[in-house]
Homo-oligomer: A and B are copies of this chain.
Amino acid sequence: MLAEIISLGAELMTGAAVDTNSAWLSDALARCGIPVSRHTTVGDDREAITAAIAEASSRADLVILTGGLGPTADDLTRPALADALAVPLVTDAESLRQIEDFFRALARPMPAGNRIQAHLPRDSTPLPNHWGTAPGIQARLGRADIFCLPGVPREMRAMFAQYIEPHLREHAPPAGLVTRVLRTFGAGESHLAEQIEDLMARDRNPAVGTTASEGVISVRIVARAASPAAAAQLADEDEAEIRKRLGPLVYGHENDTLASVVGALLTNRSRTVATAESCTGGLIAKLLTDIPGSSRYVLGGAVVYSNAQKTAMLNVPAALIDAHGAVSEPVAESLAVNCRAAFACDYALAATGIAGPGGGTAEKPVGLVYLALASPSQVTVRECRFSDRFDRAAIRDRAAKTALNMLRHELLAAPL
């Protein structure tokens, strides 16, 4: 069984809104074992919607449309679906009654425009909407079952659960498709791919692929088999092999972040952390405290953006800054060591660097960052030279993630 998704809406075509419904539906279908082969987005154009429905129905067994079911003249899913089915629109009395009831429950008069929401292609099945006014529509065209849902995410999600999930349980083969995602940090995509090249061969099952996003390289495993259990076993085997080859480059899976993994390691070991940030300006602390419950292990942080504050808040000797510059290994080390003492914590992370776009010199270019980690037994300083293709946001992002990754490696080596 193959699925396609069609999203409708002028705001998507002008870039005023991002299509999150297609991603949500793709994830929900993948969890039901149904692969999605195409997303199509078109605007409020009756012929374009009709064409998209006809094309998708010729390729897929399941077509889900979102949007275009509202009460205004630019809501064209109903007439476009009728055109694709080559049937007229007729008023569905039961749907009209439900829309009237919806407004009665709100004690508001029903605007005349809402009547068109009860117009459905002849012989299609209305899907009552308990979360809004627009009924959904189910129809069949060629090989495809078509479901039209509202574009409002909350209503769309509720109606997916009420109508499409039961349909899939009845009609789809048991889900022999399992997807896993492993998250890595610290090596480039091509370096990583070299170590699992054989697993990434085309037409292999499971299919293994990599994706890079903001310094995190994800490895995706998509296993297909006759049953869910058989697919899960295939995925398990690949996951074990990939973890073995990549070792501690893999920091987690699915929705793990470096900060959530560091948080779990700190929690397990009953350790605490604080931060001393210059160029990252609070970003490391922000990432650490993104995690619910981080108050158990984050004591606090110092954003020491000016040289004066490095001295005032964290006792970095002014002479040290004068001798080496604020962006230097000794200053990073001093920031981390003094931060650890000031906060009386187990670990302290420090960052000082040149995030740009200004402030670089030939000797200390934009992208030069010193990161330091003070731990109970030692202090480690790392010099990073981020590519001049990185902008300010990317330099700060990678510096903060590299700092968290230093702490992750330190914690992995520390006894529980």
Contact = CB atoms under 8 A, between A and B. Distances in A.
A127 interface: no
Interface stretch (A42-50, A135-143, A260-268, A368-376): A42-50
Contacts of A213: 17, 152
Interface string A103-130: 0011010011110000000000000001
Contacts of A105: 387-388
Interface residues of A, number: 116
A38 B41 contact: yes
B281 A289 contact: yes
A220 interface: yes
A84 interface: no
A7 to B, nearest CB: 8
A122 to B, nearest CB: 22
A330 B209 CA distance: 54
A189 interface: yes
A212 B152 contact: yes
Contacts of A211: 9-11, 16-17
A133 to B, nearest CB: 8
Interface string A62-73: 000000001111
Chain A interface main SS type: mixed
Contact of A292 (B45, B210, B358): B358
A132 B215 CA distance: 12
Contact of A73 (B36, B106, B201, B343): B201
Given A306-B295, A358-B293, A30 B15 contact: yes
A284 B281 contact: no
A194 B112 contact: yes
A230 interface: no
A304 B300 contact: yes
12 contacts: A15-B29, A39-B42, A72-B210, A74-B209, A114-B190, A154-B391, A281-B288, A282-B289, A293-B358, A294-B305, A300-B304, A302-B313
Question: Which 7 residue pairs spanning A and B have beta carbons closest together?
Answer: A281-B289, A15-B27, A282-B285, A15-B26, A282-B282, A301-B303, A39-B41
